[in-house]
Amino acid sequence: MLNKYFPVNEYHTPKTQKRVIWDKLSLGTSFYFNLKFMYFLYKNRKLALNNQYDTERWALSSFEILKHLEDCGAKFHIEGFEHVDAVKDEPVIFVSNHMSTLETMVFPCLVAPVKEATFVVKDTLTTSNVFGPVMRARNPIAVGRNDSRQDLIKVLSDGKQKLAEGTSIIIFPQSTRSNDFNPEKFNSLGVKLAQKSKVRVVPMAIKTDLWANGKLIKDMGSIKRKKPVHIKFGTPLTINGSGKDEHQFIVDFIKKNLEEWNK
């Protein structure tokens, strides 16, 4: 396998993994988790401001956050790394449902060690004082999510250029994070971009509700330690015709896996 952090087809948090003492001393709260997460944000922001937050550093910082989550009781189940390896020599579009901050933080260490990639993100993430420098360092495609037509034009235009340059794109077609998957709100933007750019799509299904949205700061929520984290890459898809069948395949892939994980 090509990913130095995950040299396997699938990864499962070891059953022997134990919570660190500082998390146990938090007495069931997420105080230690959020405190160290803030430290990671500060460190990476400083690197970004000094133009030192490259792809290798991005992947490493993502892996550090994944291990921090495990230190705080998270149990990961990640499948399908062979499908990332299968597209190592070509730019692709990763299309995923969206539940929490977790996938934004963890996806880089799953993909970036194998191929150059970036996100489609809400533009406010690139302008915020805390996250802004880090997000801008990864040259994302930023959209407003107020005008769906303008967002479509921007993603198709900027996305086609990035793909032509060899950068893969990670996109969440939902308008916002949600623990419930609603196919009607899962648009086909990723498939349309793939069709226009003549690249393949890698479906992704996730269950990341372990990391709840915060009440005051959305990205600083509590950790629900009893909820396992599931991430699964699907077989790369070639878009044929309008892409309607491929879009439906992705929707069904996400629904099927969520139903299995929610049993």
pLDDT by residue (tens digit) across 108-146? 999 999 999 999 988 888 888 888 999 999 999 999 877
Provide, rounded to the nearest whole percent, the portion of the chain with pLDDT above 90: 82
Q: How far apart are CA 95 and CA 17, in angstroms?
A: 30
In a domain, residue 163? The reply is: yes
- Comparison of pLDDT for 207 and 129, the residue scoring more: 207
pLDDT of residue 216: 56
First to last CA, the chain: 31
Q: Does pLDDT of 219 surpass 70?
A: no
The mean per-residue pLDDT over the stretch 229-241 comes to 97
pLDDT of residue 1: 76
Q: pTM for this one?
A: 0.94
In a domain, residue 250? The reply is: yes
In a domain, residue 234? The reply is: yes
In a domain, residue 171? The reply is: yes
Q: Does pLDDT of 191 surpass 90?
A: yes
Q: Does pLDDT of 218 surpass 70?
A: no
CATH number at residue 142: 3.40.1130
Could you give the number of structural domains in the chain? 1
The mean per-residue pLDDT over the stretch 97-114 comes to 96
In a domain, residue 5? The reply is: no
Q: How far apart are CA 206 and CA 62, in angstroms?
A: 17
Q: Residue 177 in contact with residue 100, Cβ under 8 Å?
A: yes
The mean per-residue pLDDT over the stretch 144-164 comes to 88
pLDDT digits (tens, 9 = 90+) for 59-92: 999 999 999 999 999 999 999 999 999 999 999 9
pLDDT of residue 215: 66
Q: How far apart are CA 192 and CA 207, in angstroms?
A: 25
Banded pLDDT at 16 (limits 50, 70, 90): very high
Domain containing residue 132: 10-261
The mean per-residue pLDDT over the stretch 25-37 comes to 94
Q: How many CB atoms lie within 10 A of CB 90?
A: 13
Q: How far apart are CA 206 and CA 5, in angstroms?
A: 19
In a domain, residue 176? The reply is: yes
In a domain, residue 3? The reply is: no
pLDDT of residue 100: 93
